[in-house]
Amino acid sequence: MIRDIKGLHHITSMASDARENNRFFTDTLGLRRVKKTVNFDDPSVYHLYYGDEAGTPGTVMTYFPFPNMMTSRSGVGEVGETQFAIPKGTLSFWKDRFLAQAVAGVETDTVFGANRLRFLGPDGDGFALIETADDNRAGWTGQGVGDDVAIRGFSGARFNLHETAATEELLHFMGYERADVEGDVTRFIIPGGNGADTIDLAALPKVPFARQGAGSVHHIAFAVENREKQLEVRKALMDTGYQVTPVIDRDYFWAIYFRTPGGILFEIATNEPGFDRDEDTAHLGQALKLPSRYEEFRDQIEANLEPLAA
């Protein structure tokens, strides 16, 4: 069994419009844009990262905005809901804010005893804010979002699956413990995590498979402290029969990827070196940062990207 996973690292989704994506995450949710770079496999597309002040693992939502990408159709075999933690007693602040800003799909209910505010992102992305007690992570403030109400980072994610057994087994292997069951949803928690600690598995045997597009999660990344731990995790996964990619340098972390039995793409990402690797914390996310191999094409790449509001 693996004991080095510390919760989520980041969640990466796809969008259809970079400017709207940037506006929603910075203005509406009040997150900080901590990196403005390009898709390392396709530099005509941005890769935008939003999180807390430093882009701490467990807080980072990232996007590939592909201009005019077709909207996704939700279903099984995907991350169905990305969940952010908010302080207890702040749900009404967020509900009023979302209604005032015409955010889609705003609904309230409870999940595993916590108040939940569900809402949709600009491309129909499934999100929720979950009231969470004793979350000591500091939120990013500004845009009318004070420290008392700010998003703390992810609380977790819900996977929509045809059947959950193989994914349960994988989560156990990754160090997660089965914590609770509510209806067709089983909750897993990782002990000693970074705050982004829960994974909910929804068993939806009659729901058709999702079609990926704008608004769907591309992959979900789990955190390990460093490259040494990552290699241990990689070996453990491969010894168990998973096909795992070689280690890939993503400039701000090191990544390995593998496809899971339920269809969701998992990544294991290192907490090192972090987003202040190539710009200081005070100015994170403002300048366009390129991996060194694209630096000589900077003029063309910049000319091809829509300018974003600071």
Question: Can you tell me the distance from the alpha carbon of 260 to that of 300, in angstroms, rounded to the nearest whole number?
Answer: 37
Distances (CA, A) of 10 to 45, 59, 252, 298: 19, 7, 12, 26
Q: How far is the CB of 63 from Zn ion (least distance, A)?
A: 11
Going by their DSSP bridges, the two strands 153-161 and 78-87 should be labelled as: antiparallel
What the block records as the tokens of 156 is 């977790």
Identify which of residues 12 and 16 has a Cβ nearer to Zn ion in the complex: 12
Cβ–Cβ under 8 Å, residues 259 and 3: no
**Closest separation in Å from C-beta 48 to Zn ion:** 13
Q: Which is nearer to Zn ion, 98 or 252 (CB)?
A: 252
Measured distance CA(234)–CA(242) in Å, rounded? 9
Stretch that binds Zn ion, among 6-14, 53-61, 78-86, 180-188 (CB under 5 A): 6-14
Cβ atoms 268, 230 nearer than 8 A: yes
Which stretch in 7-15, 99-107, 135-143, 226-234 sits in contact with Zn ion by CB under 5 A? 7-15
Member of 11, 221, 223, 224 binding Zn ion (CB under 5 A): 221
Residue 135 binds Zn ion, judged by CB under 5 A: no
Place of tokens 């939003």: 50
Start-end of H helices in 85-189: 91-100, 165-173
**CB nearer Zn ion, residue 12 or residue 74:** 12
Report the residue number, 8 or 290, with the smaller CB distance to Zn ion. 8
> Should residue 267 be labelled a site residue for Zn ion when binding is judged by CB under 5 A?
yes
87 versus 156: smaller Cβ distance to Zn ion? 156
Task: Tell me how far, at minimum, the Cβ of 4 lies from Zn ion, in Å.
Answer: 18
Residues of this chain that bind Zn ion (CB under 5 A):
12, 221, 267
